[in-house]
Structure 1
Amino acid sequence: MISVIVPNYNHAKFLEQRLDSILNQTYQDFEVIILDDASTDNSVEILNKYSNHEKVTHLVLNEKNSGSPFKQWKKGIDLAKGDFIWIAESDDWSNVNFLNSCIETIKNDTQIEFVFCKSKIYNNTDHTEIGIEAWMPLYKKEQFLGISRAIDLEFLEKYYHQMNYISNASAVLFRNDPQIFERYLLMAQSYKLTGDWLFWLSFVMRGKGRFINEVLNHNRLHHGTARNLNKAVEKKEVIEFLLEYYKVLERLKLPKGQFMLSFVKWCFKSEPYLNTYSINIKNVKLYLNIKNIYTPLYFLIILPWTIYRSCFR
């Protein structure tokens, strides 16, 4: 069975499309767990209409906002009875064959722990389609143009540190095994914007996933989407994520050259981050400890840039 978790906050106008796209799936062995995080619109009124549906096993209404979507994820996972979990974000919708395509992929290889598909991205302001190619240029590369692709340790080494290529939880089906993801799910609760990138690292680092090269999910980008709200906080969290990422590469004894390019890029991508967080040099030195790379990186790039920004901002 699949446990479908629908975390909602103030997405009343999208809920019927979201829930109907779940309940009308061609694959029907699932339960639906609905969580509302103290919405201030008419979400609860709409959710109550679905509360008696045979597939809905839980409708949990918070009296106070939790302050973190990942606290809601954990609450839903704790209630889940299924062998697999789908976190279906409340402002997205899916093709009716999403679950069937995902479960067939996993059934064909019992070693697979998660699977995700292409998503079409829409600008919710003017309803124009942004498109997966514009959002994820990696997927235009030749190795991603087949029917599906293994998400293995090569993906971890070369790609996943560049950006969160698993950009939307609604596109993912994963095994309900807390031993895989519990540590990073707890860590993600302290993140405001990039906790999903950290959470999916739980699976990517194990090298047992698959990407379905088919659009089965539809994702809205709008003013209320968390990633649009605070770029300074995002970049701070990204650097912290990359420090954790480095420790994973160390533990797996994987090459770090591609990772270092991403690390330097993110260090200098956000001026607010540099001005207020000073790159946290001590943590960089503590966690990275790259004897042959750290010294020139620090003295030739990081230190001069930090001084420059401090003197000429």
Structure 2
Amino acid sequence: MKNKLVSILLPTYNQQQYLKNSIESALNQDYENIEIIIADDASTDHTKEIVSSYIKNTPKIKYFRNEYNLGRVANYHKALYEHANGDYVLNLDGDDQLIDNTFISDAVKLLNDKPNTKLLVACKQFSLHDKIIKTYHKVDKLIAVISGLEFVNGISKKYEFSHLTTLYNRKDALKLNFYRENIISTDKESLLRLALTGDIILYNKIVGQWNYIGTNDSKNQSFYDSTTNLTWITNVYVILKTKTTYIKATLWKERMKLLYAPFIAKSIKNQKSLTLNQVYTLFKNKIVLALIVSIVKITFNKLFLRKNK
């Protein structure tokens, strides 16, 4: 059987500092049947020149440049729906890189051996101010197959996932309208919805690295961005409550709000005040209690640290 085609999506905007690492990490994969889709969202730096130096040496790279800046999520959507042809897809942002050259070949083999699985989730590390911080799944085995329901229920408690280390089925993604929400966690919203349609493979190996460069959207959220991002919790909850009991689904939703509330608290702190419309937004999203708990927890931790200095 012919090896299935894997599309490595590489959406980028003004990320020339890390772009070479991202491209070369994709090219260094030992899996031969890949296409590398570079989706340039009208960068104003030297992205085009950097990519041009690679295109002439390999047919694996396909370069698409938007006439104007679409924004991160729209660029994801366009790359997947208009440019990708693979059976499987991996999204590698311009500030990401793969650090395991066998990841794609290992992942495809595992997915082929388990045809009922919807996606494979491996582990990442991230570079923060030149310090490498490792992220693992809390599972004992190198490889584990679990239900998507179990995975979603245990997200951020027992299990984690990263966009850059998750290989997913393209046709299934298209059916679910991946990257439909223009929010920071559009990847989480899409991938967790997909997970709830079947089983997933956990691959307990660090295969990718995310580089924090100070301008990453997930770490720089405005009040609007942070509150709009709650959409991912609501959308997953709507599906989750059809798969489990109402009480379990509701407890999951509230736990997710508690985990996410610090991002909203930080955005409020950064702007130093709230408008009446913003207060209304907090009540409308039923995030006030989680926000209060988060602020109390942050304050207590600061006092505890001061006391123990």
Find the partner of 1:172 among 166, 170, 174.
166
Q: CA RMSD in A?
A: 3.0
Q: Does 1:116 align with 2:121?
A: yes
The question of whether the paired residues in 1 share the 8 Å contact of 2:18 and 2:95 is answered with yes
User: d(CA) in 1 for partners of 2:179 and 2:212?
Assistant: 23
Question: Which has a greater percent of helix?
Answer: 1
Q: Which runs of 5+ in 2 are unaligned?
A: 294-309
Q: Does 1:84 align with 2:88?
A: yes
The number of residue pairs the alignment matches comes to 275
The question of whether the paired residues in 2 share the 8 Å contact of 1:122 and 1:218 is answered with yes
The question of whether the paired residues in 1 share the 8 Å contact of 2:12 and 2:94 is answered with yes
The question of whether the paired residues in 2 share the 8 Å contact of 1:50 and 1:56 is answered with no
Post-superposition shift, 1:157? 2.4
Give, as a single letter, the amino acid of the residue that structure 2 aligns with 1:97: T
User: d(CA) in 2 for partners of 1:217 and 1:50?
Assistant: 21
Q: Does 1:259 align with 2:232?
A: no
1:96–1:215 CA distance, 2 compared to 1 (3 A): same
User: d(CA) in 1 for partners of 2:193 and 2:250?
Assistant: 21
The question of whether the paired residues in 1 share the 8 Å contact of 2:172 and 2:194 is answered with no
Match of 2:304 in 1: none
1:17-166 aligned at under 5 Å gives the runs 17-56=21-60, 58-67=62-71, 69-77=72-80, 78-94=82-98, 95-123=100-128, 125=129, 127-132=130-135, 139=137, 141=138, 144-152=139-147, 153-159=149-155, 165-166=160-161
User: d(CA) in 1 for partners of 2:256 and 2:28?
Assistant: 43
Deviations 1:135-188 (A, max 9, x none): xxxx3x4xx12112234211222336x699323x221111111566543422x2
Which secondary structure state, in structure 2, belongs to the residue aligned with residue 177 of structure 1? Answer: helix
1:282–1:62 CA distance, 2 compared to 1 (3 A): closer
Aligned-residue identity in percent: 18
Post-superposition shift, 1:226? 0.9
1:146–1:279 CA distance, 2 compared to 1 (3 A): farther
Match of 1:278 in 2: 280
The question of whether the paired residues in 1 share the 8 Å contact of 2:189 and 2:233 is answered with no
Q: Does 1:200 align with 2:191?
A: yes
TM-score between both structures, scaled by the size of structure 2? 0.78
Which secondary structure state, in structure 2, belongs to the residue aligned with residue 73 of structure 1? Answer: helix
Give, as a single letter, the amino acid of the residue that structure 2 aligns with 1:71: A
TM-score between both structures, scaled by the size of structure 1? 0.77
1:151–1:49 CA distance, 2 compared to 1 (3 A): farther
Post-superposition shift, 1:112? 1.3
Give, as a single letter, the amino acid of the residue that structure 2 aligns with 1:174: Y
The question of whether the paired residues in 1 share the 8 Å contact of 2:73 and 2:179 is answered with yes
